[in-house]
Structure 1
């Protein structure tokens, strides 16, 4: 298992982004922290989660024909959330040193997909908007079977399928937000993850 705070980990992520724009890292997070994050997601599912929206600004709306997940934003004051946010801060610094991306902050939320829900194909940032540069998805599902559904499917810019990824606990997916359409297939049991995005403070980055 790679140490997420190590120079080796930062090198691997930077190489993957520079070469292909995305990478999948199975079992990259310590099982103890995965368990804590999973427990926190479960404890708050009925309290602070709300139906996710699509679109931005005045076009923002809820549409379960497109996405059915519920979300809860990470809380930096919570000690469990803080551990994950600290790892993402280390990653931000590591990537800026290697790729000169100019990443300046990270936002993220828990995503809970009840049985029968999905998220149709989409991209995480509008072309040229630069509101989100790099996406991270950490899966929080133990003993996920082939019949449970809920896979993440990654596509290239021509919408050709690149990879289908099982949402197994501890697997981390990282990809350039504008470049890769992706979707969550219908899930047949509760499916949990943390979705997050690094942003830049201006319209240019230099890798």
Structure 2
């Protein structure tokens, strides 16, 4: 059954203020219901592969750290392109309001099946990555399990977010460790990263 909720007309305004104050934000029903439903249908038609950890030569599969499956979004796919365009609007707005200098966005579908998890980690390290903002958009709702837990710099839990279709989470990539708790049923989402320059002192930050 297709999702139904009112289309948010001021969603950009609802993101910038809490993000500016605390470095992260959680907004329910952030994306249009029809787009969220189309993405949910689309991800189930894709060929997702077991995700790895590490970059470049250190990239490896380690199911003690993460057990999700992923597939990168492409502008060649009409449904995925709609989401990428929506994130481009967010990128422009965050640049104007918060002067972040974002120039790029990359994202992939993520599927967590029953028992799948992702241990606590950072998406970026200061001075070693061009990822500035991390994002998660949920494509289906889980009553329990599969929560995203966000920690502060002192490793204290500050937010525990239950997967709910249409919810968008944004947080600073190098500031907040986070984890995905074991899923009790299949959990679909889009994980994305807003980036600035493509290299730092000659060091390229490729996609995972």
TM-score (normalizing by structure 2): 0.89
TM-score (normalizing by structure 1): 0.89
| CA distance in 2 between partners of 1:12 and 1:33 (Å) | 19
Alignment-derived partner of residue 40 in structure 2 = 38
Alignment-derived partner of residue 206 in structure 2 = none
| CA distance in 1 between partners of 2:16 and 2:160 (Å) | 22
Alignment-derived partner of residue 145 in structure 1 = 143
State yes or no: 1:80 paired with 2:79. yes
Assess if the C-alpha contact under 8 Å between 1:50 and 1:72 holds in 2. Answer: yes
Shift of 1:10: 2.6
Output one character per residue of 1:84-116: Cα deviation in whole Å (capped at 9) or x when no partner: 000011111111111111000000000011111
Output one character per residue of 1:131-187: Cα deviation in whole Å (capped at 9) or x when no partner: 200011000113x213xx111101001110001100111110000001000000001
| CA distance in 2 between partners of 1:130 and 1:90 (Å) | 23
- Equivalent pairs, count: 194
Alignment-derived partner of residue 14 in structure 1 = 16
| CA distance in 2 between partners of 1:23 and 1:170 (Å) | 14
Shift of 1:78: 0.7
| CA distance in 2 between partners of 1:152 and 1:29 (Å) | 19
* Equivalent residue runs for 1:36-185 within 5 Å: 36-44=38-46, 48-142=47-141, 144-146=142-144, 149-185=145-181
RMSD, aligned α-carbons: 1.4
| CA distance in 1 between partners of 2:7 and 2:99 (Å) | 23
Matched residue SS, 2:93: helix
Q: What residue ranges of structure 1 are gaps of 5+ in the alignment?
A: none
